[in-house]
Amino acid sequence: MTGNGKRGSAVIDERSWYLANELLAFLIEIAALGLLCWWGFTASGSAAANVLLGLGAPAVAAVLWWLFAAPRAPLRPPLPGVLIVKALVLGGGALALYGIGHPVGALVMAVVTIVNITVAEVFRRPAPGGAQPVPKVARPGG
């Protein structure tokens, strides 16, 4: 902060980083579903199995996410449970990318996912000294 109580230009606005990270999280989630679909449609020699996997794998992942990991999940477990579901769904997307023959892309997706989840959880925790975490929804004009 500068002497007049305003943030200097060198200080990072945490809300902007938080919102950017949340947008990245959404894109990773959509990518994971798409990759599970792509993997499923190419996983087998049988057309019926490909359709079942291509539609079933992302559907199962979406239901798991909705039930346990979404912000308004009806069965939201404590943090370790949420992280397990995120690892299954998002890690499944990275594994699907590996399975369709893109190991470097899978590694990049896994690393970006881990960093994204770590940053998101750090932003959601109260800061030392009792300060409030960055809000999940930006306030208009704020």
pLDDT at 2: 47
Choose among 115, 108, 117: nearest CA to 85: 117
Looking at residue 132, its pLDDT comes to 52
pLDDT of residue 136: 53
Residue found by looking up tokens 């023959």 in the block = 101
Cα radius of gyration rounded to whole Å, the chain: 19
**For 16-73, what is each residue's pLDDT tens digit?**
888 888 999 999 999 999 999 999 999 888 999 999 999 999 999 999 999 999 989 9
Q: Note the pLDDT tens digit of each residue in 81-139.
A: 999 999 999 999 999 999 999 999 999 999 999 999 988 888 776 555 555 555 555 44
pTM: 0.76
Residue 78 scores a pLDDT above 70: yes
| CA distances (Å), origin 113, targets 27, 61, 94, 106, 117 | 10, 16, 9, 10, 6
Residue (of 41, 42, 48, 28) closest to 92 by Cα position: 28
Res. 140 pLDDT band, cuts 50 70 90: low
